[in-house]
Amino acid sequence: KQEVTQIPAALSVPEGENLVLNCSFTDSAIYNLQWFRQDPGKGLTSLLLIQSSQREQTSGRLNASLDKSSGRSTLYIAASQPGDSATYLCAVRDGGATNKLIFGTGTLLAVQP
């Protein structure tokens, strides 16, 4: 059974710092991996999608990497801003027939001005 873990559970950094969020999964037979952010009381916003054949994806100040063989992904945020404060979730799509996304429990990020 696929399990997704995110470390740390919470992180507080001063504005301007670069930071890395970690995601690990137990079954490397994934179809793809997505990073989301969730603001309080809101739904999820997709940030980056990495296919199983890819190593990384970039969007603006965000860079996500994928090492499928070791079951790990990282989300790198450069030059953090207070507006980046949110919960960040990673989710893996199983490679089997179900196609469902299995979510981690998230990292709560606070960027202090």
Partner 1 sequence: GAGVSQSPSNKVTEKGKDVELRCDPISGHTALYWYRQSLGQGLEFLIYFQGNSAPDKSGLPSDRFSAERTGGSVSTLTIQRTQQEDSAVYLCASSLGTGGKLFFGSGTQLSVL
Confirm or reject binding of residue 18 to partner 1 (CB under 8 A). no
Using CB under 8 A, pick the residue from 1, 69, 99, 113 that binds partner 1: 99
| DSSP at 105 | -
Task: Please identify which residue in the block is written with the tokens 């499928």.
Answer: 68
Confirm or reject binding of residue 45 to partner 1 (CB under 8 A). yes
Round to whole Å and give the CA distance between 32 and 109.
24
Residues 47-86 binding partner 1 (CB under 8 A) are 49, 51
> What letter represents residue 55's amino acid?
R
Using CB under 8 A, pick the residue from 43, 60, 83, 113 that binds partner 1: 43
Closest contact distance (angstroms) between CB of 70 and partner 1 is 22
Altogether, the residues listed in the chain come to a count of: 113
